[in-house]
Amino acid sequence: MTAAAALSHPEHASTRPYPSLIRRLIAWQALALVLAWLVLAGLLTWRGVAWGEAEVQTRMQRMATVLASAALSPEPELKQRMDATERAVMALLGLDEEFAQGLRSAYQLWDREGRLLYRSANAPNTRLDAPPPEGQAPYWQVHRHDPGQGMNRVLLIAEPREIALSAVLPVLWLVLQSQLGVFLWHGLVIWLSVRVGLRPLAQLAQRIAKRRAGDTAPVQVDRLYAETAPVLRELNELLAHEAQRLDKERRFLADAAHELRTPLAAVNAQAHLLLSEEDGQARREAAGALRQGIARVSHLLAQLLTLARAEAGTNAQPERSELDAADLLRGRVALLAGLARPRGIELSLHAPEQLPFRLEREGFCSIVDNLIDNAIRYTAPGGRVEISLSPQPDQSLEFCVRDNGRGIAPEQRERVFERFYRVPGSSEQGTGLGLAIVRRIAERERAELSFVDGLDGRGLGLRLRFTAHGA
């Protein structure tokens, strides 16, 4: 189930809790610390088991210099002073006996007669520089040091040529312990900081939850943050769009009710007259008027539905298909010719034989019908209406309807696209929705709509330019 589906079905949300951002952040921090520990452990392991011979010799020389003065002590004091020196070295390095057992050097102090005077706890009883058994590689890398002062003593300091991995484990454990402490402290800090940091989002959610249904006023908060500002901005824009949509719907319903009131009242009056009139001629006239009233109401309802669909889909992507625009236009003009013939209006069409273009069929037909119907209605009897369709060099399609009627004053041209608006002084019957429908469909189709000059130096024309693929 998607997040949106879970939000729309609270019963699912109660059984499947949402993931926690705090736990997610802590988990990522834990993963980062584990990876850091693994990298550090790898480096320490490599460093511990892969010392170069020159580095080992340098370290053993330094240790021999430190132990040299204790190695010159008289035999009764020798062990005590050697142990004290070794403990001092371990304390100086901050290492305990168990921790350094596998990493520290082994020491032996021999005299010239071959007596073992002293050895460290990790040194064998045999000489460190003794040759290995036949066929075996030397185990120790040995540094010999003469303490001097004619004592006839030799200090042997040795380290294994290959350090076992087990000798490095105490170091890795110490690092892990320190990392665990850092992780616990870091996790506590992250938990507290994230809880405090996400508090503005919780406050925003509370303010939204307290709003009444239908309240489209902008959401206000005490303080904006970089993380909450985009959410609040998009939310307020959504509320503003919703408020505009609701306002349009209210105005649309109010206008529709107002416009339907008059023709429905006329239909009701004609029906009453038809039922009450006894004279045959009067009944026939009432029936004719009733038919006209019903036709007007039907036309108005059809226009209202068309406008509602056009406005609902203004921001939607229309479904286009490859059509022969010229053939489609010829069919619509043939159907509309019946409106022009009784008034003696000449319809002329200028279009190529074929003109393939990607269009939304229903939207294009609605534009054609409304523009031609408007031109016929507002052109005087005996006038002319010219319709043209032509491809353009930029691969766009231009559709134009012009007439030689009385035209529209420049100051009125923008208002004719408003719903139910009629030009003052106009006596022709109409719904006032035709051009509003044309504009909404043009906006949906991303088509350019503009006025052009009419015919014979008078009248007016409307031109639409459809871009290729609706781009």
DSSP 52-84: -HHHHHHHHHHHHHHHHHHHTS-HHHHHHHHHH
Count up the domains in the chain and report the number.
3
DSSP 8-state code for residue 106? E
What is the distance between the alpha carbons of residues 191 and 102, in angstroms, rounded to a whole number?
A: 40
Which residues partner with 464 through β-bridges? Answer: 399, 449
111: tokens are 């005299």
Q: Is residue 368 part of a domain?
A: yes
pLDDT surpassing 80 at residue 248 = no
Higher pLDDT, 186 or 440: 440
CATH code assigned at 381: 3.30.565.10
Handedness of CA 184, 189, 192, 197 (dihedral sign): negative
What is the distance between the alpha carbons of residues 443 and 357, in angstroms, rounded to a whole number?
A: 18
Q: Spell out the residues 6+ positions from residue 190 whose beta carbon is closer than 8 angstroms to its own.
A: 22, 25, 26, 29
Q: Is residue 293 part of a domain?
A: yes
Going by their DSSP bridges, the two strands 346-350 and 397-403 should be labelled as: unpaired
At residue 171 the predicted structure's pLDDT band, cuts being 50, 70 and 90, is low
What is the distance between the alpha carbons of residues 455 and 85, in angstroms, rounded to a whole number?
A: 116
Q: Spell out the residues 6+ positions from residue 406 whose beta carbon is closer than 8 angstroms to its own.
A: 378, 380, 458, 459
pLDDT surpassing 70 at residue 296 = no
pTM for the structure as a whole: 0.48
404-461 pLDDT, tens per residue?
Answer: 988 888 887 888 777 666 666 565 666 667 788 888 888 888 889 998 998 888 888 9
Tell me: do 459 and 348 sit in the same domain.
yes
Contact present, 347 and 337 (Cβ < 8 Å): yes
Task: State mean pLDDT over 123-142.
Answer: 82
What is the distance between the alpha carbons of residues 443 and 307, in angstroms, rounded to a whole number?
A: 12
Q: Is residue 206 part of a domain?
A: no
Tell me: do 364 and 452 sit in the same domain.
yes
The total number of residues shown for the chain amounts to: 471
At residue 172 the predicted structure's pLDDT band, cuts being 50, 70 and 90, is low
Task: State mean pLDDT over 126-140.
Answer: 81
Tell me: do 145 and 283 sit in the same domain.
no
pLDDT surpassing 90 at residue 401 = yes
Q: Of 405, 401, 415, 406, which is closest to residue 451 (Cα–Cα)? A: 401
What is the distance between the alpha carbons of residues 369 and 372, in angstroms, rounded to a whole number?
A: 5
pLDDT surpassing 90 at residue 402 = yes
Task: State mean pLDDT over 163-183.
Answer: 64
Q: Is residue 27 part of a domain?
A: no
What whole-number percentage of the chain has pLDDT above 90?
A: 9
Tell me: do 415 and 466 sit in the same domain.
yes
Residue at token pair 């185990």: 139
Question: How confident is the prediction for the chain on average, in pLDDT?
Answer: 77
Q: Which helix (H) or strand (E) holds 7?
A: helix 3-8
Tell me: do 346 and 290 sit in the same domain.
no
Q: Of 155, 36, 178, 172, which is closest to residue 102 (Cα–Cα)? A: 172
Task: State mean pLDDT over 331-340.
Answer: 87
At residue 66 the predicted structure's pLDDT band, cuts being 50, 70 and 90, is confident
Q: Is residue 176 part of a domain?
A: no
Tell me: do 342 and 368 sit in the same domain.
yes
At residue 348 the predicted structure's pLDDT band, cuts being 50, 70 and 90, is very high
What is the distance between the alpha carbons of residues 445 and 439, in angstroms, rounded to a whole number?
A: 10
Q: Is residue 31 part of a domain?
A: no
The helix/strand count (H/E) of the chain reads as 13, 11
CATH code assigned at 242: 1.10.287.130
Higher pLDDT, 8 or 196: 196
Tell me: do 324 and 459 sit in the same domain.
yes
Tell me: do 281 and 365 sit in the same domain.
no
Tell me: do 241 and 353 sit in the same domain.
no
Contact present, 362 and 319 (Cβ < 8 Å): no
At residue 9 the predicted structure's pLDDT band, cuts being 50, 70 and 90, is low
pLDDT surpassing 80 at residue 109 = yes
Task: Of 7-21, 98-112, 236-250, give the lowest mean pLDDT range.
Answer: 7-21
Question: What's residue 390's pLDDT?
Answer: 93
Task: Of 28-42, 102-116, 291-305, 396-410, give the lowest mean pLDDT range.
Answer: 291-305
Tell me: do 275 and 359 sit in the same domain.
no
pLDDT surpassing 60 at residue 259 = no
Contact present, 160 and 139 (Cβ < 8 Å): yes
Tell me: do 278 and 375 sit in the same domain.
no
Question: What's residue 330's pLDDT?
Answer: 92
Q: Of 71, 47, 64, which is closest to residue 105 (Cα–Cα)? A: 64
Range of the domain at 78: 52-162
Tell me: do 327 and 461 sit in the same domain.
yes
Q: Is residue 459 part of a domain?
A: yes
Q: Of 140, 139, 159, 164, which is closest to residue 49 (Cα–Cα)? A: 164
